[in-house]
């Protein structure tokens, strides 16, 4: 077992480390949340990381998107992410997609993964990820951040409420203001939740974690499935 994991193996065991090495994680978004999620999962020893983002790096991204140095302004985020992650851990296989995540492409990107991580900034794409999670039977780790605050939840298809149960008609606020460190905190929480899931430890499945950066407080609530959910409810096939 590589020496680089020596400080975490006492916590997760050699079996846990092997589980990480054998895992494939699809990360949707290489921005404020995708940066810490992908970097910590690569450093933790996840065997394959797939990361998708259509955008190019802009100067306004730099306060929070730590995957991308200022020297790469104008580069595709997916390409920049692959460079950074491969440099962080050459043992991690990185597959990047510099294309839009839509109702068709999502299946090619996510198929065969052990976990889908939602690091997007809009609910249109989040709902696409949610439907793909249900159809492919792959758990979805949702994260969102704005201002000083954020939220995460783990969705297990056919077991827990899906994203549409929890947020049936959510809308995205365009270009919402954000403190970079808030994305760092919430993204790190997502990365830790991903590790716990991949090695079989207790998770936030069926719960919603809300982080308030103005007071550094965390609240966790149980969430329930909606029988009227258009994705996983009793009416989905009507």
**Helix-, strand-, coil-residue percentages of the chain, each rounded to 5:** 35, 20, 40
Rg value, the chain, Cα: 17
- Report pTM: 0.95
The number of beta carbons lying within 10 Å of the beta carbon of residue 169 is 6
Describe the crossing of helices 34-44 and 180-198 by its angle, rounded to 10 degrees. 40
E-strand spans in 16-139? 24-28, 48-52, 93-97, 115-118
Mean pLDDT by 10 residues, the chain (238 residues): 91 98 98 98 98 97 96 97 98 98 98 98 95 98 96 97 92 79 98 98 97 97 94 67
Residues 180-224 have pLDDT tens digits of 999 999 999 999 999 999 999 999 999 999 999 999 999 999 999
Residues 124-146 have pLDDT tens digits of 999 999 999 999 999 999 999 99
| Complete domains list, the chain, with CATH | 3-222 (3.40.50.720)
Residue pair 190/37 in contact (Cβ under 8 Å)? The answer is yes
Q: Which long-range contacts (CB under 8 A, 24 or more apart) does 82-85 make?
A: 82/51, 84/39, 85/38, 85/39, 85/42, 85/49, 85/51
């Amino acid at each position: 077992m590589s020496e680089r994991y020596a400080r975490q193996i006492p916590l997760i065991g050699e079996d846990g480390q092997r589980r990480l090495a054998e895992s494939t994680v699809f990360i949707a978004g290489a921005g404020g949340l995708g940066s810490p999620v992908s970097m910590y999962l690569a450093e933790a020893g996840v065997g394959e990381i797939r990361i998708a983002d259509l955008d190019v790096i802009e100067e306004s991204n730099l306060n929070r998107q730590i995957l991308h140095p200022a020297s790469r302004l104008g580069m595709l985020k997916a390409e920049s992410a692959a460079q950074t992650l491969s440099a962080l851990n050459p043992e991690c296989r990185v597959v990047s997609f510099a294309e839009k995540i839509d109702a068709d492409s999502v299946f090619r990107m996510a198929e065969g993964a052990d976990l889908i991580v939602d690091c997007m900034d809009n609910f249109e794409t989040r709902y696409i990820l949610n439907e793909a999670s249900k159809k492919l039977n792959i758990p979805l780790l949702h994260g969102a951040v704005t201002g000083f605050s954020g939220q995460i939840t783990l969705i297990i298809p056919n077991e827990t409420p899906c994203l549409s149960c929890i947020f049936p008609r959510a809308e995205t606020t365009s270009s919402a203001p954000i403190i970079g460190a808030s994305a760092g905190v919430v993204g790190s929480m997502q990365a830790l939740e991903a590790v716990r899931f991949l090695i079989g430890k207790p998770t936030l499945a069926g719960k919603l974690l809300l982080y308030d950066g103005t007071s550094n407080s965390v609240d966790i609530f149980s969430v329930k499935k909606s029988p009227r959910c258009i994705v996983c409810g009793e009416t989905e096939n009507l």
